[in-house]
Amino acid sequence: MKQKTILDVKQLQTYFYLEADRVAKAVDDITFSIHPGETVALVGESGSGKSMAALSIMQLIRKPGRIKQGSIRLEGKELLQLTNRQMAQIRGKDIAMIFQEPMTALNPVYTIGNQIGEILRKHQGLNRQQAKQEAINLLQTVGIPRATEIIHEHPHQLSGGMRQRVMIAMAIACKPKLLIADEPTTALDVTIQAQILDLLMQLKEQFHMSLLLITHDLGVVSEYADRVIVMYGGQMVEEAAVKELLQNPKHPYTDGLLASLPNMEEHAERLGTIRGTVPPAYAYPAGCRFSTRCPAVMDICHVKAPSLKQLTPEHQVRCHLYANGGDLS
C-alpha cells in the first residue's frame, strides 16, 4: 500500500555535541511519514525527544545541536540539502509551527498586526495595506473578536488563549501543507485547551493541512489524532493507529502512559505511574533505553538494544517481548 505522503522522515538523527566526549542523542534514528490531511501525534514524556524531532523538521536546532544524518522530504523534496536561505522560504510558508508558550512566543515590542503582517509580506509579497487587511481576516478566522483593534495591540495586552490564537493565525497565514503544533495547549487553562484544539482541527479541514501534534496528553491524542508515534529516549518505541494503540498497547512504556491517565469508569485509588525518570540523552542505559524503568524487564534488555518490529502493517513496536513478532504479554 503506497500512499501519497506530505512528509517523509527517514533515519533522522539529531545529536547535541555537549563536550568532546559527551553527545546527547536527542533524536536517534526516527522514521515516519505523514499523509495529506492526517493528524499524527508524537507522544512521550519531557525529554523523550519529541520537540527536538519537530525542531529538526523545521531545521531550527540550535548549537551545539546538529542534524547528524537522515532525510526529511516534503512532498518528495529533500529539505536537508537546502541552504539556510532556501529553508527560510519553506518555513512559515509550507511548514508552519506553533509553540508551547504563547506568553513568550510573540515579540513583546511589536504589534500583533506587525507580526502577522511581516510573514505575509515576506512569503506572499503583499504590501503593508494588503497585509494589514489580511491580518484582520486571519484574526477573524481564528475567532478573535475586535480584530481591527487587536492588530494595533501588543502581546502583553492579550490573554494566553488569545496569544495562542494569534500564533495560530500566523501559522496558517500562508496556508502551509504541514502544521507542527508543539504542545499547543499545555500552558493554557483547561477550559481554553479544548477550544484551541477544536480550532486547530477545524482549520486543518478548512485549509487541507496535515498536522503533527506533539503532546504528552494521551487524552488529547485519543480525541484528535489519527495515528500515534510514542517516543522514548530519542527513539520511536511504538507506532499505531490511534484506536489500535489505545486498545492494544504493546510497549510497556505505552502501557505505563495509559495507566497514568485517570479513568472515569474504574475509580482507582491512585493513578498509575512509571517509576524513575527519563535518563539524560547523553547517558542512556546499555541495551534497551527503557530497561531501567520497565516493569517487564528481562535479562536480554540490559544487553541488547531491541529494534523496531512490524507486528501488523499498521503497528510497530521496539521491545524484546515481541522479538518473534508474536504477542507474549
For residue 244, which amino acid is it?
E
Q: How far is the CB of 123 from another protein (least distance, A)?
A: 6
Say which amino acid occupies 306: P
Chain-centre distance for alpha carbon 27? 13
**Which residues, 6 or more positions from 92, have their beta carbon under 8 angstroms from its beta carbon?**
119, 122, 123, 170, 171, 173, 174, 176
Residue closest to 46 by CA, chosen among 240, 215, 273: 215
Of 42, 51, 79, 91, the one binding another protein by CB under 8 A = 91
Residues 6+ apart with CB under 8 A from 93: 123, 174, 176
Number of residues interacting with another protein: please give it, by CB under 8 A. Answer: 31
Q: How far is the CB of 69 from another protein (least distance, A)?
A: 22
Of residues 4 and 85, the one with the C-beta less far from another protein:
85
Q: Which residues contact 56 (CB under 8 A, 6 or more apart)?
A: 12, 14, 27, 67, 72
Binding to another protein in span 120-159, by CB under 8 A = 122-123, 154, 156
State the Cα–Cα distance between residues 36 and 179, nearest whole angstrom: 11
Quick one: which of 106, 139, 214, 257 contacts another protein (CB under 8 A)? 106
Task: List the one residue from 11, 107, 202, 310 that touches another protein (CB under 8 A).
Answer: 107
Q: Which is nearer to another protein, 135 or 317 (CB)?
A: 135
Assess 119 for contact with another protein (CB under 8 A). Answer: yes
Q: Burial, 256: exposed, middle or buried (Cβ in 10 Å; 0-12, 13-18, 19+)?
A: buried
**60 versus 303: smaller Cβ distance to another protein:** 60
Q: Is 90 in the site for another protein (CB under 8 A)?
A: yes
> Interaction with another protein in 62-81: which residues (CB under 8 A)?
62
Cβ atoms within 10 A of the Cβ of 266, count? 6
Between 60 and 300, CB nearer to another protein:
60
- Cell of residue 81, nine digits: 540539502
Q: How far is the CB of 193 from another protein (least distance, A)?
A: 20
Q: Which is nearer to another protein, 6 or 170 (CB)?
A: 170
Does residue 167 touch another protein according to CB under 8 A? Answer: yes
Binding site for another protein (CB under 8 A): 58, 60, 62, 84-85, 88-93, 96-97, 99, 101, 104-111, 118-119, 122-123, 154, 156, 167, 170
